[in-house]
A = this chain, B = another copy of it.
Amino acid sequence: MPDSDYRQRLEQQKQASTLQLLFKASRLANERALELVRARSPDTRVRPAHTALFPHIDLEGTRQTVLASRLGISKQAVGQLVDDLVAMGMVERVPDPDDARARLVCFTATGRLALLDGLAVLMQLQAELEGRLGAEVMHTLQQNLAALLSALEEGTAPG
């Protein structure tokens, strides 16, 4: 393969790199959010994987299997994260009245406060980014990401 061909393909790659942008942006945003959390409460033991769970826990409690499917991860992974959150006093597992196998993951009072605090961090970062990008870009980005997400979910579901 001559160099010229190779270089040409590399050019194509650059054009095809939306997905790589996605990966890198995700990584960086994650890191940045973690920085903010640590700056705000340096002794926190809550990690992003935990906070990712938070918005999916309903007020009346949510089963772990439901959390797993909402997050797109295994129920065991959810179990581990919930274990951690229970140890931190953020959530508790209460028996599900409708099914003796199941338990509902519910926030404690502490957990709710932490949720709101975490929310504040996310909004801070979001506001920071919006300040640089403009509200419109931020808005269309959200729309397009949502579309991308559903396209990705569509793609795997029927297979």
Is the pair B153, A28 in contact by a Cβ cutoff of 8 Å? yes
Q: A30 to chain B: which residues have CB within 8 Å?
A: 23
Is the pair A9, B145 in contact by a Cβ cutoff of 8 Å? no
Whether, in the assembled complex, A158 has its beta carbon less than 8 Å from a beta carbon of chain B, the answer is no
Is the pair A19, B55 in contact by a Cβ cutoff of 8 Å? no
Whole-angstrom CA separation of A18 from B145 in the bound complex: 8
Total interface residues on A, CB under 8 Å, equals 64
| Residue ranges of A at the interface with B (Cβ–Cβ < 8 Å) | 1, 3, 6-7, 9-10, 12-14, 16-33, 35, 52, 55, 59, 71-72, 109, 112-113, 115-116, 119, 122-123, 125-126, 128-129, 132-133, 137-138, 140-142, 144-149, 151-156
Q: A28 to chain B: which residues have CB within 8 Å?
A: 72, 149, 152-153, 156
Whole-angstrom CA separation of A22 from B123 in the bound complex: 14
